[in-house]
Structure 1
Amino acid sequence: MPGELEIPEYRDGFRLGQADRFSFLHIDLNSFFASVEQQLHPEWRNRPLAVVPTMADTTMCIAASYEAKALGIKTGTQVGKAKEICPDIILVAGSHTEYAKFSHRIAAAVERCCPVAHTPSIDEMVCQLIGREQEPPRARKIALEIKQAIKDDVGETLRCSIGMAPNRYLAKIASDMQKPDGLIGLLPSQLPRAIAHLELRDLPGVGAKTEVRLNAKGIRTMPDLLALDRQGMHRLWDSVWGDRLYHWLRGADTGDDGAPVAPEVQKSLGHSHVLGPEHRSQEGSWAVAHKLLHKAAMRLRMEKFYTGSMAVTIKFALTREEAAALGKTKQHTSGIKHSGWAMEARFADCQDTLSLLDVLRKLWAQRPVGPQCQKPFFVGVTLRDLVPESEFQAGLFGDPDNRGNLSSTMDKLNLKFGHTTVHFAGMLPARESAPTRIAFTQIPVQYGVEFM
């Protein structure tokens, strides 16, 4: 079969000839954003706390302290519901620059004990063990040293759970098996029975939609999944992913160790923002869109790309009556029912802010302005069709109006003093809005004095 992997030999779930060793440590920071806030503010320690994107009851908690989790408040809980559960909960607008700084400090602390081989997200790190480090007692000693180094170098509220396993996929699973402050090891001789009690959703890569698909094929429990042979797993996933998963769950090393597939050349970059109540107007949303473009254009130049396409997305909040009149509507994670609009424009490759702002204005002029489009609450700006600077072919007539030089000068000042120090007037009403937000799978890069 094309794409087949080498087939290790197993007996009773144990790979023959494979020593009982750990090859990877997966470090998962517990309630990371909330723990950073409690470290920065000692008066908030041991109290229910939630980090939110904006101070609005309709938005969702993006992180919760363990004191809040004990009450049933977690990531994704609506802020209004969190207040009902705990009227005294501390709500904090996330300081994402601080979270990025702490992530880098934690990585430095981990490096004192063992080199960081991979950083899957802002609150996760992976160490690859070699030689005698793989022996279980030594691996456990390194894991405990990492925990202590984070506490000593970064702060006592920053706890982590560490998973030890023969491959990255299992190490990730192990790190989720005991929280907070856990330390779990999955040895080859214990597999796969040591994970038979887990839910299908505990497997990285198995979300709600995948679980429904597996259930439809008769796989409802981990024992159901583990009962399949390699060919059965291949058929279940209809790809080589099934073969890999079969081997990973039994402690095998397939050569990629559960790592995500390496991405191709970056295709897009952009920013989006849920508007605060003060910006949920035509003027406010334009100012925020302007700022999002300002940030995206600066990143474009810092990362040495040109772009040939821009997409703009706007979501409009609907009243219950408006949503009913429209029939089928979408619902944002905040609970807001909404309609949406998006448009994309293509243009000659460029990277200067003025040229991109011209495109944004033309797209913005095409937005719907009817009675059900008067309350924008979400704006996104994405630059696509990225071309590396090394592959860019300059136009015949050069740089009109020295726009590239103007952007370069703005960048130098913004890198030195902050990325909104010099900007075009259109974003002034939203200068302090739309701060850097962190996707859990991406760590902001520091450009000058700020993270973006």
Structure 2
Amino acid sequence: MSDAAQPDFFGFLHVDLNSFFASVEQQLHPEYRGKPLGVVGTMADTGALIAASYEAKALGIHTLTKVGEAKKICPEIILVDGSHSVYSEYSHKIAVAVERCCPVAHTPSIDEMACQLIGRERVPATARKIALAIKQAIRDDVGSTLRCSIGMAPNRYLAKIASDMQKPDGLIGLLPSQLPRAIAHLDLRDLPGVGAKTEARLNAKGITTMEQLLALDRNGMHRVWDSVWGDRLYHWLRGSDTGDDGAPVPSEVQKSLGHSHVLGPEFRTDEGAWAIAHKLLHKAAMRLRMEKFYCGTLAVTIKYALTREQAARAEKSKKHSSGIVHQGWGMEARFRDCQDTLSLLDVLRNVWKQRPRGAEYERPFFVGVTLRELIPESEHQATLFGDPDNRAELSRTMDRLNLKFGHTTLHFAGMLPARESAPTRIAFTQIPVLYGAEYM
């Protein structure tokens, strides 16, 4: 793509909801407004906050701060057990409000929306009016505590960057004529897709600042990333709306789906972990059918907490975000593609029997179940002998009842101990979908 000057237009708006989960709680509970508040997945002190209100952030409490540490910093902090269904409902309401001002072209996560501008909408003054109208629509239609930062830029990547440059309630525009100097002051970690590992890799190659990265030509960017991603980034950071250079476009076909859960203390036994795994499979199998897929592989992951002595002897150990030192085990099983819960449960049982035994494997604290090699229903080949046990019909009957009355209304007995545990976790990158009476 040519680096010739581009018209000073905006192509995208990126709407980023500020402290979304905490703001929803403050909208629902007026008594929480103006006070430090944290949303948690578990109330244990070893758990981490998944959101913090701006009052809490002002005290140094942020997302991923340990619950115990947050209490030390602010003993009067309000801690709220997060609700996936409530946040999903509010995300939907906000999307409707945004749509009233400009069509939503892409939803990267539960608290982000991107709008593509066309025609005269791309003129900076008009784009700014649209952004202000979005802010007002969210306040009017959803609630006064729901604030957002909006980034405007010639491409979606830069619009995302701009939305993070001023919080809360910010509005920043990056025009082609201002690029790339307008982002030269940012940190490398401010770039979407650059996490701790990528930053370390860039540092190892001599790139420690944004100015150094922007000084590279396209070939230099390709070498630093060792992939076509560097070429794309070169163009995006200079305001181009593309820059693929003929590289293959990643497939949009979904490859897997699943659920994972950090076990509560009462479930950190073999029996408790199995009950949780059973429930995770129940939810994943239901999603599989709702999204009209079959699958051909099931993967199980278990993480086991280690004592200090066990960690010292272990060849490999890791530290969980909760602070738990652990070692993990995982196994994958392949089978003829299916989608009914009973068949998948048979596979899960066989995999579960293979889990390791011994003193180091007596304290499971994390379980994940993932269904892979997804096949659209339209491409599934039925077996020659059909379904003699009517397993597919049994699953469909369960789905009809669960969609009407709640996702755990009818289930197999093995998950009974965990029926009320392992709720659907707060969705970040997974966009919540309303299946019957509940979001999943």
TM-score normalized with structure 1 length:
0.94
Give CA-to-partner distance per residue, 1:296-326, whole Å, 9 cap, x none: 1111111111122211111111122221232
CA positional deviation for 1:262: 4.2
What is the distance in 1 between the residues matched to 2:193 and 2:398?
42
Question: Residue 296 of structure 1 corresponds to which residue in structure 2?
Answer: 284
Give CA-to-partner distance per residue, 1:185-234, whole Å, 9 cap, x none: 11111111111111111111211111112112221111111212223222
CA positional deviation for 1:255: 6.4
Question: Residue 136 of structure 1 corresponds to which residue in structure 2?
Answer: 124
What is the distance in 2 between the residues matched to 1:287 and 1:133?
53
Matches within 5 A, 1:432-451: 432-451=420-439
What is the distance in 1 between the residues matched to 2:414 and 2:226?
51
Paired residue secondary structure (1:149): helix
Count how many residue pairs are aligned between Structure 1 and Structure 2: 438
1:192 corresponds to 2:180: yes
What is the distance in 2 between the residues matched to 1:111 and 1:407?
36
Paired residue secondary structure (1:347): strand
Match for 1:190: what amino acid?
Answer: Q
* Cα pair 2:45 2:68 within 8 Å, conserved: yes
What is the distance in 1 between the residues matched to 2:58 and 2:315?
38
What is the distance in 1 between the residues matched to 2:324 and 2:191?
30
* Cα pair 2:231 2:243 within 8 Å, conserved: no
Q: CA RMSD in A?
A: 1.6
Matches within 5 A, 1:58-77: 58-77=46-65
Question: Residue 24 of structure 2 corresponds to which residue in structure 1?
Answer: 36
CA positional deviation for 1:93: 1.4
Give CA-to-partner distance per residue, 1:419-438, whole Å, 9 cap, x none: 10001111111101111113
Return the match for 2:301 from 313, 335, 338.
313
Question: Residue 370 of structure 1 corresponds to which residue in structure 2?
Answer: 358
Paired residue secondary structure (1:116): coil
Matches within 5 A, 1:113-124: 113-124=101-112
Question: Residue 7 of structure 2 corresponds to which residue in structure 1?
Answer: 19
Paired residue secondary structure (1:400): coil
1:167 corresponds to 2:155: yes
What is the distance in 2 between the residues matched to 1:241 and 1:142?
31
Question: Residue 106 of structure 1 corresponds to which residue in structure 2?
Answer: 94
* Cα pair 1:416 1:448 within 8 Å, conserved: yes
* Cα pair 1:438 1:444 within 8 Å, conserved: no
Question: Residue 407 of structure 2 corresponds to which residue in structure 1?
Answer: 419
Paired residue secondary structure (2:283): helix
Question: Residue 3 of structure 2 corresponds to which residue in structure 1?
Answer: 8
Return the match for 1:182 from 163, 170, 195.
170
CA positional deviation for 1:280: 1.3
CA positional deviation for 1:264: 4.1
Match for 1:284: what amino acid?
Answer: G
Give CA-to-partner distance per residue, 1:317-359, whole Å, 9 cap, x none: 1122221232541111111111211111122221111111111
Question: Residue 342 of structure 1 corresponds to which residue in structure 2?
Answer: 330
Match for 1:143: what amino acid?
Answer: A
Match for 1:396: what amino acid?
Answer: L
Paired residue secondary structure (2:114): strand
Moved over 3 A (4+): 260-264
* Cα pair 2:84 2:427 within 8 Å, conserved: no
Give CA-to-partner distance per residue, 1:132-165, whole Å, 9 cap, x none: 1111111111111100100110111110000111
Gaps in structure 2 of 5+ consecutive residues = none
What is the distance in 1 between the residues matched to 2:383 and 2:362?
40
Matches within 5 A, 1:344-359: 344-359=332-347
1:202 corresponds to 2:190: yes
Question: Residue 273 of structure 1 corresponds to which residue in structure 2?
Answer: 261
What is the distance in 2 between the residues matched to 1:174 and 1:246?
17
* Cα pair 1:415 1:448 within 8 Å, conserved: yes
What is the distance in 2 between the residues matched to 1:222 and 1:282?
49
* Cα pair 1:50 1:90 within 8 Å, conserved: yes
1:390 corresponds to 2:378: yes
Comparing 179-188 with 347-356, greater Cα deviation is found at 347-356
Match for 1:134: what amino acid?
Answer: R
Return the match for 2:214 from 221, 226, 233.
226
What is the distance in 2 between the residues matched to 1:414 and 1:348?
26
* Cα pair 2:288 2:339 within 8 Å, conserved: yes
Return the match for 2:393 from 393, 396, 405.
405
Question: Quick one: percent identity of the two aligned structures?
Answer: 79
What is the distance in 2 between the residues matched to 1:108 and 1:160?
15
What is the distance in 2 between the residues matched to 1:261 and 1:68?
41
* Cα pair 2:316 2:327 within 8 Å, conserved: no
Comparing 199-208 with 322-331, greater Cα deviation is found at 322-331
CA positional deviation for 1:238: 2.6
Paired residue secondary structure (1:312): strand
What is the distance in 1 between the residues matched to 2:263 and 2:232?
42
What is the distance in 2 between the residues matched to 1:19 and 1:396?
61
Gaps in structure 1 of 5+ consecutive residues = 1-5, 10-14
Match for 2:56: what amino acid?
Answer: A
